[in-house]
Structure 1
Amino acid sequence: MKALIVDDNDIARATLAHLAKQIPGLTVVNQYSNAIDAYNHLQKEQIEILFLDIEMPEMTGIELTKNLSGKDTIIIFTTSNREYALQAFELNIADYILKPVMPARFLQAVSKAQSILESRKENIQMTQDEFLFVRDSNITRRLKLDDIFYAEAMGDYVKFYTREKMFAIHGTMKSAEERLPKNDFIRVHRSYIISVSKIDTLQDGGIMINGKFIPVADAYRKILNTRMNVF
């Protein structure tokens, strides 16, 4: 895994570089004291992991992350402040480490990034044109995966909900879970699979998607919170 370290503090960069050397398979290809130089690097080379400070002059880590929208780089924030946690959640980063960075915490973050990379390898890369075929009133229709808000079990059927309508297909939640890409969908209840990008709010006992309350079972809550980087 190729990584960049971006931090305007010399000691912080040296600490992260030292920790990275202890992890087999993780290579820090460069270090930068500002986000602009890191951005220019990322336009030229594919980097798997970005260890990124938040408070930096000229361009903050938050701003850099927004400018990298659409790239596959996994971002791990390293910061001294807790106050950016909500923004980090909204940007769907991999992890959020508070300084001083401890070895065990660093390893945990890298392990999470490795899991994300492995998940990507196991699943066919998604594009806006990928789809499922579903039978609707004896007509087989093409349903774009990006249009799906959530899936709900109903007896021997699974109902797929989009903004406009619902499609019911004969099958099980297990088969639906296997078919839907793990990068984009997550099981939150024995009866529900949801699109992570379609979540509006998280609240006690469940989540809201397109005006629908969907319960989150205790067995899946920790997985969801980890996936969404909830603090």
Structure 2
Amino acid sequence: MTCLIVDDNDLSRLTLRQLALQTGRLQVTGECKDAMEAHRNITANPPNLVLLDIEMPGMTGIDLLKILPKQTLAILTTSQKQYAVEAFDLNVVDYLIKPVSLPRLMQAVEKVRDILLRNDTEVTSAADDYLFIRDNNMLKKLRLEEILWIEAMGDYVKIRTETQWHIVHSTLKAIEEKINSGRLMRVHRSYIISLDKIDSIEDGVVNILNTPIPVAESYRSKLIQKIKLL
């Protein structure tokens, strides 16, 4: 997969380039020091993936995302957690906290690969403890206890388990209507999470497997009621 690195820090760009090459999945086709340079690069030669820093002089990575085509796949890199809610509102693929580790980057890159290879998978039926998803001509059973979170992305939904992603042609609302389980809860217009899998909650974000997931203000009181708060 072709990859563009955007970061105003020389050392950060070098580190990301080295990590990208180590994944065995990415071909770094360019590096940019600021958002305007990146915008020109992406417009002229769209990469499969943009590794994008948030805090840059002039235009931030968040500002850049707002003017890029919606189909642009971006993994945000930052030393700050506070941008997570705004970032996920823009449907980024993943949000990595610096210093970025190779295992964490590889996990994010696999999400990109799954999206690029997605097919006509869809949810066909659901019960109290499982879903059936149609993958081409096969029906696959997916237990709700395996699900970490479900994430909307355009016309598709990504179902994250501990071992893999399932890319489903559906809407989050349609899946929410089929699921009848106290195990899963919608916490944002783009996310349904498994309450059992939450590691921590802070600053309007839940963390599952070191991944920050935004909680919208309208869902926060309901979430607090659902968890076992001492």
Report what 1:62 is aligned to. Answer: 62
Report what 1:44 is aligned to. Answer: 44
- 1:77-156 equivalences under 5 Å are 77-119=76-118, 122-123=119-120
* Cα deviation 1:93-132 (Å, max 9, x = unaligned): 000000111111111111111112121xx249xxxxxxxx
CA contact (8 A) 1:2 1:28 kept: yes
- 1:186-205 equivalences under 5 Å are 186=172, 188=175, 191-192=178-179, 205=185
* CA–CA separation in structure 2 for the residues paired with 1:16 and 1:95: 15
* CA–CA separation in structure 1 for the residues paired with 2:51 and 2:81: 16
The one-letter code matched in structure 2 to 1:84 is Y
Identity between Structure 1 and Structure 2 (%): 34
* Cα deviation 1:135-194 (Å, max 9, x = unaligned): xxxxxxxxxxxxxxxx998xxxxxxxxxxxxxxxxxxx958898985255357458249x
CA contact (8 A) 2:125 2:132 kept: no
Report what 2:223 is aligned to. Answer: none
The one-letter code matched in structure 2 to 1:7 is D
* CA–CA separation in structure 2 for the residues paired with 1:208 and 1:27: 34
**Deviation at 1:91?**
0.7
**Does 1:230 pair with 2:229?**
no
CA contact (8 A) 2:93 2:111 kept: yes
* CA–CA separation in structure 2 for the residues paired with 1:54 and 1:21: 22
**Deviation at 1:219?**
9.3
Report what 2:12 is aligned to. Answer: 12
The one-letter code matched in structure 2 to 1:59 is M
Larger Rg: 1 or 2?
A: 1
CA contact (8 A) 1:49 1:76 kept: yes
**Deviation at 1:230?**
1.2
- Please, which runs of 5 or more residues in structure 1 have no aligned partner? 125-150, 154-172, 194-203, 210-215
CA contact (8 A) 2:185 2:195 kept: no
* CA–CA separation in structure 2 for the residues paired with 1:81 and 1:219: 25
Number of aligned positions between the proteins: 166
CA contact (8 A) 2:125 2:133 kept: no
**Deviation at 1:24?**
2.2
SS of residue matched to 1:86: helix
Report what 2:221 is aligned to. Answer: none
The one-letter code matched in structure 1 to 2:171 is F
Change in CA separation of 1:220 and 1:177 when aligned onto 2, cut-off 3 Å: farther
Report what 1:73 is aligned to. Answer: 72
Change in CA separation of 1:192 and 1:152 when aligned onto 2, cut-off 3 Å: farther
* CA–CA separation in structure 1 for the residues paired with 2:98 and 2:12: 9
* Cα deviation 1:16-35 (Å, max 9, x = unaligned): 00011112231010001101
SS of residue matched to 1:230: strand
CA contact (8 A) 2:120 2:136 kept: no
TM-score by length of 1: 0.59
The one-letter code matched in structure 2 to 1:230 is I
Change in CA separation of 1:75 and 1:6 when aligned onto 2, cut-off 3 Å: same
